[in-house]
Amino acid sequence: MNKWLLFLILLLMMVISGCWDKKELNELAVVMGVGIDKGPKGEVRVTAQVIKPPTKQGGSAGGSSLPTWSLSANGDTLLDAVARLNEISPRRLYWSHMQMIIFGDASAREGIAPYLNWFARDLESRTSTLLAVTQGKAEDLLNQKVELGNVPTKTMADLIQTSDNRQLPTRKMTLRDFISFLATPGIDSAVDVINVKSVRGKPETYSVANIAVFRGDKLAGYISGAQRTAVEMVNNKYKNALLKVACPNEKSAFFIFQVTDYTINKSISADDEIIKVGMNIFVEGNLNDQSCAGDLLRQDILQHVEKNIQNQIKTYILNTFKQSAEMKADIYGIGRNLHRYYPHVWDSMQKDWKDILSQVQFNIKVDSNIRRNGLIMVPTNRLMEE
């Protein structure tokens, strides 16, 4: 009898517990991305980008329009604004498929930690969600229709995640990463910046060309152009990237060097309270393009090119450090290494570290190797001249 009772209980457990937490798709509004801005009265303004439900004929509602729609609401806190979003949404907002959290410039400058707290605690949110900043309003970015990409936040996330395949290394900062940096003494975060890229005055796609430098949880400023990749250089993630290198003795001409292998060994010392950072870098790659007149058959030209590659990497690292130090942000994690190897020195400097940071001295050594320089040794325009 006991065996039959046990069997019945097990059978009921399988049947009853199987769908206790089920969610009907036609009752949910699947959130793909969220934007957080500062409202006109200083309140929190949240914009959620949601997938449109399919129509009876198949496909998304709205004909040829985007398969997403956005709704915005204001609140005293993030949770208050999200509650208001649920009030105006015909379906319950579902956060498990969220690709990105985008902060507008104004909200990021005030500090993003209070917002991250809710996302990190919410059971549906994922800590692998990407973080990004836009230099305008996040709401405007999410509502901007571009030619490439039907689901804006998915397009933005793919732009960041697949950047290595396009020789454009990005930060790929996730919710989990940012919170980890906040909890670690002596390091600040750098986050990708997403803006709309226009061609002939028409918005075509999204662009990740800058990084946003944070001091703690507050946006301190931006670093633009190729120098933004210096953070990846220091973090040993600078691979499959393109480096634009000046030609020897030619101001307006350049080589394009594609990095295929990159390693960095870092050290730190603290003598008489003078902080010195050492970096030994090895970079290897191929010359993919050439607009200068240099003949790559000549050994002296190749040596000049390698020297320029080394100088370019040093310049990027030092200039990016200078810019971030002026913002009083330690995006290289020098303080973290000081805390790890010289804890007594860090304890004495931690309080004033943001001011001491700019006094750090660098000793950077770069070795480079050109593996391949192409099938031709001179530019094609010179071939015609000859």
Structure confidence by residue, pLDDT tens digits, 10-54: 766 665 655 555 555 567 889 999 999 999 899 999 999 999 876
SS3 158: helix
- What's the confidence (pLDDT) of residue 329? 97
Residue 269 · residue 263 · CB < 8 Å: no
Please tell me the distance from the alpha carbon of residue 2 to that of residue 319, in angstroms, as a whole number.
Answer: 77
13-36 in b/e burial notation, b at 16+ Cβ within 10 A?
Answer: eeeeeeeeeeeeeeebbbbbbbbb
The domains of the chain, with CATH numbers, are 24-231 (no CATH), 236-386 (3.30.300.210)
Residue 32 · residue 97 · CB < 8 Å: yes
Residue 110 · residue 202 · CB < 8 Å: no
- What's the confidence (pLDDT) of residue 55? 61
- What's the confidence (pLDDT) of residue 63? 47
Q: What is the CB-side half-sphere exposure of residue 68 using CA atoms within 13 A?
A: 23
In residues, how long is the chain? 386
User: CA angle at residue 333 from 239 to 158, to 5 degrees?
Assistant: 40
pTM exceeding 0.95 = no
- What's the confidence (pLDDT) of residue 62? 46
Please tell me the distance from the alpha carbon of residue 147 to that of residue 163, in angstroms, as a whole number.
Answer: 19
| Tokens coding 359 | 């006094």
- What's the confidence (pLDDT) of residue 163? 79
Please tell me the distance from the alpha carbon of residue 175 to that of residue 98, in angstroms, as a whole number.
Answer: 12
| pLDDT < 70: residue spans in the chain | 1, 11-26, 54-66, 164-167, 201, 203, 293-297, 373-386
Q: Which of 96, 109, 118, 97 is nearest to 46 (CA)?
A: 118
| Tokens coding 186 | 């002596």
SS3 86: helix
| Tokens coding 5 | 């009772």
Q: What is the pLDDT of residues 141-153, one digit of tens each?
A: 999 887 777 788 9
Per-position DSSP letters for 314-377, written without gaps between them: HHHHHHHHHHHHHTT--TT-HHHHHHHH-HHHHHHHGGGHHHHGGG-EEEEEEEEEEEE--S-S
Please tell me the distance from the alpha carbon of residue 78 to that of residue 42, in angstroms, as a whole number.
Answer: 12
- What's the confidence (pLDDT) of residue 382? 55
- Give the amino acid at 355: D
